[in-house]
Amino acid sequence: MTIIQVLWCVLFPAAALWAGERYRVARFFGPVTLCYVAGILVANLPGVRLNADAAMRVSEAAVPLAIPLLLFSSDVRQWPRLARSLLISFALACLAAVVAAGLVGWSFRGQTDEWWKIAGMLVGVYVGGTANMAAIGRVLEARSETFVLLNTADLMAGGVYLLFLLTFAQRLFLRFMPPFTAAPHHDAFEHPGEGLSAWTRHHLRDMGLGFALSVAIAAVMLGATVLAFGKLEAAPALLGITTLGIAASLSKKVRSLVGAYELGEYLLLIFCVAMGSLADARLLSGGNMTLFLFVWLVMGLAIILHTALSALMRIDADSTLICSTATIYGPAQIGPMAAALKNRALVGPGLTLGLAGLALGNYLGLFTAWGLRWLGGG
Taking only the tens of pLDDT, the chain with its 378 residues reads: 688 889 999 999 999 989 888 888 888 777 877 888 888 888 878 877 788 788 888 888 888 898 898 888 877 777 777 788 999 999 999 999 999 999 999 999 988 899 999 999 999 999 998 889 988 998 998 988 888 888 888 888 888 898 898 888 999 999 999 998 865 444 444 445 445 555 666 678 889 999 999 999 999 999 999 998 888 777 788 888 988 988 998 898 998 888 888 898 899 889 888 877 876 555 555 546 888 899 999 999 999 999 999 999 999 999 999 999 999 988 767 877 887 888 877 877 887 888 889 889 999 999 999 999 999 876
In a domain, 39, yes or no: yes
pLDDT value at position 188?
40
Domain count, the chain: 1
Nearest 5°: CA angle at 37, between 161 and 139? 75
Picking from 143, 47, 29, the residue whose alpha carbon sits closest to that of residue 38 is 29
**178 secondary structure, DSSP code:** P
Kindly state the greatest CA–CA separation across the chain: 60
Number of Cβ within 10 Å of residue 357's Cβ equals 29
Picking from 154, 150, 145, 137, the residue whose alpha carbon sits closest to that of residue 366 is 137
pLDDT value at position 7?
92
pLDDT value at position 189?
41
pLDDT value at position 101?
97
pLDDT value at position 285?
55
pLDDT value at position 196?
52
Q: Say how far apart CA 193 and CA 335 lie, in whole Å.
A: 9
Number of Cβ within 10 Å of residue 187's Cβ equals 9
Cα Rg of the chain, angstroms = 20
pLDDT value at position 82?
76
Picking from 154, 199, 183, the residue whose alpha carbon sits closest to that of residue 294 is 154
Picking from 327, 318, 315, the residue whose alpha carbon sits closest to that of residue 353 is 327
In a domain, 273, yes or no: yes
In a domain, 192, yes or no: no
**72 secondary structure, DSSP code:** T
CATH code of the domain covering residue 313: 1.20.1530
192: left (phi over 0), alpha (psi -120 to 50) or beta: beta
Q: Say how far apart CA 37 and CA 60 lie, in whole Å.
A: 19
Q: Say how far apart CA 202 and CA 200 lie, in whole Å.
A: 5
In a domain, 217, yes or no: yes
Contact 238, 222 (CB under 8 A): no
pLDDT value at position 219?
94
DSSP letters along 224-287, please? HHHHHHSS--HHHHHHHHHHHHHHHTTSHHHHT-TTHHHHHHHHHHHHHHHHHTT--HHHHHTT
Q: Say how far apart CA 99 and CA 80 lie, in whole Å.
A: 24
**Domain housing 24:** 2-180+202-375
In a domain, 342, yes or no: yes
In a domain, 195, yes or no: no
pLDDT value at position 286?
52
Number of Cβ within 10 Å of residue 25's Cβ equals 9
pLDDT value at position 170?
93
Instruction: Please report which residue ranges of the chain form alpha helices under DSSP H.
Output: 2-22, 24-43, 52-71, 84-107, 115-127, 130-140, 144-167, 169-173, 204-229, 234-248, 252-255, 260-276, 281-285, 289-312, 317-329, 334-341, 347-375
